[in-house]
Structure 1
Amino acid sequence: MASSSSSQSWIYDVFLSFRGEDTRKTYVDHLYNALVQNGIHTYKDDEALPRGETIGPALLKAIDESRIAVIIFSENYANSSWCLDEVTYIMERKDERGQIVMPIFYHVDPSEVRKQKGKYKEAFAQHELENNKRVEAWRKALKEAGNLAGWESKLVANGHESKGIKEIVNTISSRLFPVFNVNEDLIGIETRLQDLKSQLEIGSGGVRMVGIWGVGGGVAL
């Protein structure tokens, strides 16, 4: 049984799993910047990996320390045995530690991931030729991840990438910081709260002090 997420000590809010050759300088770069700008402490390997540290153990440790794992499934994600090991480990953490997993299907259909069709079928054909003993575990992990509720980039915000990323970041933020959910009738308050979150750098450690100045007789709760 997965342990309660509230009892865990998380270092990062979000861990990003992605195929660098596909998305590092494009979609993932924009997503990462949007997360950081919204005060969400995010692990992306080329931003947080200490120079000279072995990539495997460092990334596995970062997964363990992350509240949410966001997996960006792109066309060539399954070509990388490391990416497949990564998603397998993430799905294990989901079951064992109650980690939240949110997939983004970037220019691929969820069924391609779930059933290993198209480019994913080609990638697995190559893995099987190499007699890789991890294929069965990889297939199981992709099936489970492909069945999770997530986002298809072509459908979010009608395919507009910047608007779609904003929508995804807002959803992630609401999962991390439910205290910031506000009445939609309070016009303009959401933007102000997003700015406050960014300035507080929530999740980055340390202590912050906030002073509230109001009219005489006002009560802050």
Structure 2
Amino acid sequence: MASSSKPEKNYDVFLSFRGADLRNNFIGHLYQALYRIGIYTFRDSEELKKGDQISPVLMKAIEESCIAIVVFSENYASSRWCLKELVKIIECKEQNNLTVLPVFYKVDPRVVRGCKNSYQRALAKHESKFGKESENVKRWKKALSDAGNLSGWHLNDG
């Protein structure tokens, strides 16, 4: 009998976040807390090796994770990498039962799902670069809407 086409799960958690916003504070603390209790977590700064092609490594890591924690911050949508990750995360949620846990860090979930405020500005910049009818931009908006509708944590300060 042929082996299953489901990817092997090499990571407990995949962290998706905007590095410039969170790498040295919230994500650092979260990663260390997960590490201390034995949860094997993919974080791009830890797992990417010099010389690796970023996109294939990230996409494979998402496929090989049991859970994705997506930390939405004010500038998350300004990163094409974050949006590409998010599309893949939502695809894996639908196709491979990836558990997605959103964290809304100093941003309201309504801003994420409705593409408002900083998300609206970021997507407008992407549209000006790729075109208003760009399939990428359409996928990014849908993924933001889908993820913004998931139950998660809304964190302000503390």
| TM-score, with structure 2 as normaliser | 0.91
Q: 2:60 and 2:129 mapped to 1: Cα distance?
A: 28
- Cα displacement string for residues 176-204 of structure 1 (whole angstroms, at most 9, x for unaligned residues): xxxxxxxxxxxxxxxxxxxxxxxxxxxxx
1:130 is paired with a residue whose SS is helix
RMSD over aligned CA atoms reads: 1.2
1:67 is paired with a residue whose SS is strand
| Aligned counterparts, 1:89-128, within 5 A | 89-128=88-127
Q: 1:48 and 1:108 mapped to 2: Cα distance?
A: 27
- Matched with 1:218 is none
| Aligned counterparts, 1:6-25, within 5 A | 9-25=8-24
1:135 pairs with one of 134, 137, 152: 137
For the pair shown, which has the larger CA radius of gyration, 1 or 2? 1
1:152 pairs with one of 151, 154, 157: 154
**How has the CA–CA distance of structure 1 residues 130 and 103 changed in structure 2, closer, same or farther, with 3 Å as cutoff?**
same
- AA paired with 1:148? L
- Matched with 1:42 is 41
| 1:83 and 2:85 are equivalent in the alignment | no
Identity of aligned residues (%): 49
Q: CA deviation at 1:82?
A: 1.1
* Maintained 8 Å contact 2:7/2:63: no
Q: 1:46 and 1:9 mapped to 2: Cα distance?
A: 22
- AA paired with 1:139? K
Q: How many residues align?
A: 150
2:70 is paired with a residue whose SS is strand
Instruction: Name structure 2 gaps, 5 residues minimum.
Output: 1-5
**How has the CA–CA distance of structure 1 residues 141 and 29 changed in structure 2, closer, same or farther, with 3 Å as cutoff?**
same
- Cα displacement string for residues 107-147 of structure 1 (whole angstroms, at most 9, x for unaligned residues): 00000000000100111111111134211110000000000
- AA paired with 1:152? H
- AA paired with 2:81? W
Q: 1:54 and 1:47 mapped to 2: Cα distance?
A: 15
- AA paired with 1:120? Y
- Matched with 1:166 is none
- Please identify runs of 4+ aligned residues in structure 1 that moved more than 3 A: none
Q: 1:77 and 1:9 mapped to 2: Cα distance?
A: 28
Q: 1:9 and 1:125 mapped to 2: Cα distance?
A: 37
| TM-score, with structure 1 as normaliser | 0.66
Q: CA deviation at 1:9?
A: 3.3
- AA paired with 2:128? L
Q: CA deviation at 1:8?
A: 6.2
- AA paired with 1:74? S
Question: Normalized per residue, which structure has more strand?
Answer: 2
- AA paired with 1:151? W
- Cα displacement string for residues 28-80 of structure 1 (whole angstroms, at most 9, x for unaligned residues): 01100000001100000111112211111011110010000000000000001
- AA paired with 2:87? T
